[in-house]
């Protein structure tokens, strides 16, 4: 596995991974309505470009296939972490999380925060994150509740 900075040419592969992972993994924790609303955002090219250009956005690859991605913004907010549905439980999320933590340290942060999905919360807990609150939000008019979690690094 290789971790590198994402670039604009990765957008289609990132969007597909995002959509497929939500449809496959998150569907056990969310309603059909929530999954449809959430996956509808996969082809937001402007949003992906903004994140790639403005955040520290990394992709994990195996044989030049993107198998995961993660990002952190300049305020220490761990924005994204997704692993390909066919590459779960192979240490990819752990390696991406370490990459994000190392970048946060390099930027001078001693704590990072994340808004975790129900599905990802056990992973973040296993990585030492602690839930501090809940965040209610809407995606395409559909309500979601995320766990707001933080970790001292």
Provide DSSP, 64-105. Answer: TEEEEEEEE-TTSEEEEEEE-GGGTTSSHHHHHHHHHHHHHH
Which two structure tokens, joined as six digits, stand for 105?
A: 């340290």
pLDDT at 131: 98
Q: Which CATH class is domain 2-114?
A: alpha beta
User: What is the tens place of the pLDDT at every residue in 66-124?
Assistant: 999 999 999 999 999 999 999 999 999 999 999 999 999 999 999 999 999 999 999 99
Which two structure tokens, joined as six digits, stand for 138?
A: 């809407």
pLDDT at 103: 98
pLDDT at 98: 98
Q: Which pLDDT band holds residue 2 (cuts at 50, 70, 90)? A: very high
User: What is the tens place of the pLDDT at every residue in 11-60?
Assistant: 999 999 999 999 999 999 999 999 999 999 898 999 999 999 999 999 99
């Amino acid at each position: 596995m290789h971790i590198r900075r994402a670039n604009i040419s990765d957008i289609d592969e990132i969007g597909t991974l995002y959509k497929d992972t939500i449809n496959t993994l998150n569907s056990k924790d969310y309603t059909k309505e929530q999954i449809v609303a959430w996956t509808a955002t996969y082809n937001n090219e402007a949003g992906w470009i903004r994140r790639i250009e403005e955040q520290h956005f990394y992709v994990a690859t195996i044989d030049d296939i993107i198998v995961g991605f993660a990002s952190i913004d300049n305020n220490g907010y761990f924005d994204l972490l997704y692993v390909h549905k066919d590459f779960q439980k192979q240490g990819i999320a752990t390696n991406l999380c370490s990459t994000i933590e190392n970048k946060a340290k390099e930027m001078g942060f001693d704590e990072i925060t994340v808004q975790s999905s129900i599905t990802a919360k056990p992973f973040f807990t296993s990585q030492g994150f602690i839930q501090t609150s809940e965040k209610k939000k809407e995606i395409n008019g559909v309500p979601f509740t995320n766990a707001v979690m933080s970790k001292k690094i």
